[in-house]
Amino acid sequence: MEDCRYVLFGGRAKDVMDVNTGDGLEFSYENSTSGVEAYGIKFSSDAWPQVHNLEYCDSCRSGVRDLFGCIALREKQYCIFNRQYSQKKYQVLVSKIKEHMDTLPYADAKGRIYKYGEFFPVETAPFAYNESMAHDWFPLTESQVIAEGWRWREEADRAAVIDIFPNDLPDHVKDTDESIVGKTIGCLHAGLSAGGCNQKCTLGFRIIPSEFEFYRSKNIALPRLCPNCRHYERMRRLTTYKLYERQCVCDDVLYQNTSQHPHHKEVRCPNIFQSPYAPERPEIVYCEQCYQSEVV
């Protein structure tokens, strides 16, 4: 990557900013899923492979170029809103549209202004916040999402008849048999769903035969959380797409050093840096110098 900023899953990229997936992407800005020998892509989604000079396009692929406001085109050039134009007419109209976007910009329900140069408004997203990956990495409550003017998907009412409550499951898989397969097991978070589990709890779940055999062959305890809650509990263990200012914790109190650290000796290391590990996490976070002193 060269001259890139705020890139997720970048791969080979050059001169790009605010993009998701940029393998083989150059001179592009504010995109979601674009790349593979793509060039000059702006404010677009799902633009690849070998596409050039697209603005405000969605799902335009396979050799398209010079498009504005188009969707699902293939091997086209000089189109606006999926309509074909000559090169000269295309350039004139695109210039007029950009001027119009600046003089009469779109305003969403919260009054946020979208002039030319902004990505599509969030309220036009095809998915609600809590059914997108945004909710995985930046979980919000329903009230927080609604306050932002975004959509929240209401879960269908569930009335699962629970056969086995989670606290009644045996502690070891060897203490049960195939009779548990197909039974509805209550999720341990079920009692929290009304008060804010915020993990799309399904209240109950079932174990299929192959799953049970896997648990038994590996001596893994039966789950007490539904699949959705298990997923979000795993996500909580990961570092997020956020950096925190941290001071090196090397001070021979939390952890006894195994070697000398010449740059700070008896006092706490003064080095300050950015880390994806939040201050409240339990991991011991060292600066590069202290880390190298201990490991090397």
Residue 116 counted as domain residue? no
pLDDT tens-digit series, residues 253-294: 667 777 778 778 777 888 999 999 999 888 889 999 888 888
pLDDT tens-digit series, residues 116-126: 999 999 888 88
| Last residue in a domain, options 205, 235, 265 | 235
Residue 160 counted as domain residue? no
Amino acid letter at 63? G
Residue 56 counted as domain residue? yes
pLDDT of residue 27: 95
11 & 84 share domain: yes
* Res 56 pLDDT > 90: yes
Report the domain count for the chain: 4
Boundaries of domain holding 7? 2-98
226 & 244 share domain: no
286 & 226 share domain: no
43 & 7 share domain: yes
Cα–Cα distance for residue pair 51/64, rounded to 1 Å:
5
* Res 77 pLDDT > 90: yes
pTM for the predicted model, two decimal places: 0.73
Residue 213 counted as domain residue? yes
Residue 197 counted as domain residue? yes
Kindly state the average pLDDT of the residues 56-70.
Answer: 95
Residue 294 counted as domain residue? yes
pLDDT tens-digit series, residues 81-102: 999 999 999 999 999 999 999 9
pLDDT tens-digit series, residues 191-211: 664 545 777 888 889 999 999
Burial class of residue 203 (count of CB atoms within 10 Å of its CB; 0-12, 13-18, 19+):
buried
DSSP result, 198-235: -S---SEE---HHHHHHHHHHTPPPP-S-HHHHHHHHH
Question: Residue 212 — pLDDT band, cuts 50, 70, 90?
Answer: very high
User: Which residues, in sequence order, are bridge partners of residue 113?
Assistant: 107
Of 56, 86, 85, 79, give the one whose Cα is nearest residue 69.
56
Structure tokens at 152: 């929240």
Answer for the pair 115, 102: CB distance below 8 angstroms, yes or no: yes
Q: What are phi and psi of 145, to 5 degrees?
A: -65, -45
The answer to which of 8-12, 188-192, 237-241 has the lowest mean pLDDT is: 188-192
Cα–Cα distance for residue pair 194/125, rounded to 1 Å:
27
Question: Residue 21 — pLDDT band, cuts 50, 70, 90?
Answer: confident
Q: Omega before 49 cis (within 30°)? A: yes
* Res 8 pLDDT > 70: yes
Structure tokens at 129: 């916040």
**Residue ranges of the alpha helices (H) in 8-125?**
87-103
Cα–Cα distance for residue pair 14/179, rounded to 1 Å:
58
pLDDT tens-digit series, residues 177-189: 899 999 999 999 8
Percent of the chain with pLDDT over 70: 95
Output 109 or 43, whichever has higher pLDDT. Answer: 43
Mean of pLDDT over the chain: 89
Kindly state the average pLDDT of the residues 112-117.
Answer: 95
pLDDT of residue 10: 75
Q: Which residues contact 22 (CB under 8 A, 6 or more apart)?
A: 1, 4, 7, 9, 10, 11, 12, 13, 16, 28, 31, 34, 35
* Res 75 pLDDT > 70: yes
